Amino acid sequence: MVSNNPTIKIPQVLNGALAASVYICGAQSLGTMALKSRLNPGSLDFLSAWVAVNLFLWNTKNFVDDYRAFDGVGDRGFSLGFTVFFSGISYTLLALAAASLGSGLVAASILTMYFVCLSLWSFCSYFRRSRIQVPDLSEVDRRERRLRWIFQYLYAGTLCFLAANLSPSVGAVVPAIFLLAIYGVDVMDSRTFETDQIKAA
């Protein structure tokens, strides 16, 4: 159900500012990398470019998911402090990864920690919601999705780690492609771009 309250809440403003900081850090890093590539052709590596694409995709998803989640303040099972805490950590990790794009290995390692953070958030959210004594059908659905997310994000973190530590010529492209597939699955499972449903965090 779409919220009847069109007022933008303070956490949503904070969410937008944090998401924008990731884009800004990424743009600065890409600008520096483009200059270096122009001075030294061939210096742009596969890993940095791949991390940059993932940063854009996951940061956009983060922003949309959190913006809609913050619209559910006051809903059953929603914890504002809990959601803001994990959102802040995830955006910080994305911003650090964006600022580190000059070193693909460092950026990919930080991106791996981002997925670990998402797994922890999913686990804590699942545990908190599992304690609701009489859940309705929508609450059961949220709980089941969070259980799936724990494994999805752990798998994504593993793929990111493999992509960071395998040479492209050996097989880093395979986990890189699978991680993009995980993104597509997560967008559908999280219902990120659906407009007829508010997702309480």
pTM of the model: 0.82
Q: Can you tell me the distance from the alpha carbon of 134 to that of 122, in angstroms, rounded to the nearest whole number?
A: 20
- Summarize pLDDT for 94-116 with one digit per residue, the tens: 999 999 998 888 999 999 999 99
What is the pLDDT averaged over residues 37-52?
A: 75
State the Cα–Cα distance between residues 175 and 167, nearest whole angstrom.
11
Which pLDDT band, with edges at 50, 70 and 90, does 133 fall under? low
Q: Are 172 and 178 in contact (CB under 8 A)?
A: no
Backbone φ/ψ region at 45: left (φ over 0), alpha (ψ -120 to 50), beta? beta
Q: What is residue 75's DSSP assignment?
A: S
Res. 54 pLDDT band, cuts 50 70 90? very high
How far is Cα 165 from Cα 104, in angstroms, rounded to an integer? Answer: 10
- The region of weakest confidence among 43-57, 81-95, 159-173 is 159-173
Going from N- to C-terminal start, the domains of the chain cover 10-190
